[in-house]
């Protein structure tokens, strides 16, 4: 009988790991399903009544005693180029970590950074990105309490990779699976700018536009929201790898609902839309790094939207809602009303997603 890991590997079909396995889409789901969840016994998917591999949310919860729960998140940042219009790998790593905790309903309190550097990187470049990372944490009142620092020989890594761990204290648990039929969906600002900025900066499609990444912490949005409307927020997410398309598909699947959105209502910066058109990519599949998507109770949706506008997020909009599926074939899918009045299924992004976006 073949060993467990060998059987798991064969389920992947591909004999070698491809770029698409890391895109955050379908193929990444297969890796997580077969090579991670399939190998971990279920009782080790979480601690006590916390969450973990069962939910695969932005952050996992650990119960510390009867009353307190902490949220933990981990992400690696390998973005190329490491300094890009609107930010750099340091501000990206700090923002991504802070945002994963915030959309999990937690107040970020501490971070740890594990850094792998390629021999020969300019000392000033390292200092520059670390300074960005640290400033972003400190401006958001997050302590840097530890980390790791390794250097590998030239050619063993491209410049630098930063893995961030974030710890937060849970204010209101926001679980991806808590969305109810009728809940309204709010997006806090224009989507897809980070993904477009990185692709454009690389000149991937032979085209460079002046697009700035939207990378920033969502602290000024999420902390007041959690304090004032904690009870009316059902779920929150930041549409990074795979964009809004990926996030909404996950929500539809995890809740067994169908999600309807109105594409005309989804804010996208003009240059981002132009760039996405030219390269033939759906802006909904492009990453954002400073945007939140919220599922809120329908009764309070308009009131919450006004509050978000007052917080300074002027482009925030209600973009759609979650509904009970009319039939089995509607369960777990995302349907968009297109600007010309038709309907289309918003697919889980796959394959073509480019690597090293974040």
The least distance separating a copy of itself from the CB of residue 170, rounded to whole angstroms, comes to 10
C-beta closer to a copy of itself: residue 157 or 274: 157
**Is the omega angle on the peptide bond into residue 81 within 30 degrees of 0, that is, cis?**
yes
C-beta closer to a copy of itself: residue 37 or 300: 37
Q: Which of residues 68-127 bind a copy of itself (CB under 8 A)?
A: 68, 70, 72-76, 78, 80, 109-110, 112-124, 126-127
Given 81, 150, 339, 352, the residue binding a copy of itself (CB under 8 A): 150
225 near 304, Cβ under 8 Å?
Answer: yes
Written as six digits, the tokens of 47 are: 């601690």
Q: Residue 13 burial (CB < 10 Å; 0-12/13-18/19+)?
A: exposed
Cα separation, 24 vs 129, whole angstroms: 25
Cα separation, 343 vs 326, whole angstroms: 16
- Check residue 289 and report its DSSP letter: S
Given 89, 92, 142, 304, the residue binding a copy of itself (CB under 8 A): 142
Give Cα 338 to chain centroid, integer Å.
24
C-beta closer to a copy of itself: residue 73 or 95: 73
Residues with Cβ < 8 Å from 306, sequence gap 6 or more?
none
Instruction: Please report whether residue 174 would count as binding a copy of itself according to CB under 8 A.
Output: no
C-beta closer to a copy of itself: residue 18 or 278: 18
Residue keyed to tokens 């630098």:
160
The dihedral built from the CA positions of residue 196, 197, 199 and 205, taken in this order, carries a sign that is positive
Q: Residue 161 burial (CB < 10 Å; 0-12/13-18/19+)?
A: buried
The least distance separating a copy of itself from the CB of residue 186, rounded to whole angstroms, comes to 26
Counting residues that bind a copy of itself (by CB under 8 A) gives: 96
Residues with Cβ < 8 Å from 272, sequence gap 6 or more?
190, 192, 193, 196, 211, 283, 286
C-beta closer to a copy of itself: residue 150 or 344: 150
Q: Which of residues 255-294 bind a copy of itself (CB under 8 A)?
A: none
Query: Coil, helix or strand for 65?
Result: coil
Q: Which of residues 309-328 bind a copy of itself (CB under 8 A)?
A: none
Given 95, 99, 136, 163, the residue binding a copy of itself (CB under 8 A): 163
The least distance separating a copy of itself from the CB of residue 193, rounded to whole angstroms, comes to 21
Stretches 131-139, 227-235, 279-287, 339-347: which one binds a copy of itself (CB under 8 A)? 131-139
C-beta closer to a copy of itself: residue 146 or 339: 146
Q: Which of residues 17-56 bind a copy of itself (CB under 8 A)?
A: 17-23, 28, 31-32, 35-36, 39-41, 44-47, 50-53, 56
Cα separation, 27 vs 241, whole angstroms: 13
C-beta closer to a copy of itself: residue 60 or 288: 60
């Amino acid at each position: 009988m073949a060993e467990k890991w060998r059987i798991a590997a064969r389920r992947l079909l591909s004999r070698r790991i491809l770029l698409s396995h890391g895109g955050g889409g379908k193929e990444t789901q297969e890796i997580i399903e077969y090579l991670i969840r399939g190998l971990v016994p279920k009782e080790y998917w979480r601690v006590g009544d916390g969450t973990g591999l069962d939910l695969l949310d932005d952050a996992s919860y650990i119960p510390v005693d009867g009353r307190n729960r902490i949220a933990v998140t981990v992400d690696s940042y390998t973005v190329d180029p490491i300094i890009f219009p609107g930010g750099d790998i340091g501000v990206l790593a700090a923002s991504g970590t802070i945002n994963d905790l915030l959309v999990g309903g937690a107040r970020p309190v501490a971070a740890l950074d594990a850094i792998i550097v390629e021999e020969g990187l300019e000392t000033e470049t390292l200092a520059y990105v670390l300074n960005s990372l640290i400033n972003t944490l400190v401006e958001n009142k997050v302590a840097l309490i530890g980390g790791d620092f390794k250097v590998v020989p030239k050619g063993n890594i491209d410049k630098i990779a930063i893995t961030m761990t974030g710890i937060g204290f849970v204010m209101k648990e926001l679980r991806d699976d808590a969305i109810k039929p009728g809940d309204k969906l709010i997006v806090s600002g224009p989507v897809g700018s980070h993904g477009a900025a990185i692709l454009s900066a690389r000149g991937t499609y032979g085209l460079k536009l002046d697009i700035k990444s939207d990378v920033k912490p969502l602290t000024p949005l999420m902390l007041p929201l959690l304090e004032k409307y904690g009870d009316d927020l059902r779920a929150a997410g930041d549409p990074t790898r795979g964009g809004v398309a990926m996030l909404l598909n996950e929500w539809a699947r995890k809740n067994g609902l169908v999600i309807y959105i109105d594409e005309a209502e989804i804010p996208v910066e003009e240059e981002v839309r132009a760039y996405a058109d030219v390269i033939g990519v759906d802006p909904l599949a492009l990453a954002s790094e400073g945007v939140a998507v919220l599922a809120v109770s329908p009764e309070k949706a308009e009131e919450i939207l006004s509050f978000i506008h007052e917080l300074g997020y002027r482009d925030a909009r209600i973009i759609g809602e979650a509904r009970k599926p009319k039939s089995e074939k509607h369960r777990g899918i995302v349907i968009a009303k297109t600007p010309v009045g038709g309907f289309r299924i918003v697919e889980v992004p796959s394959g073509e997603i480019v690597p090293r976006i974040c």
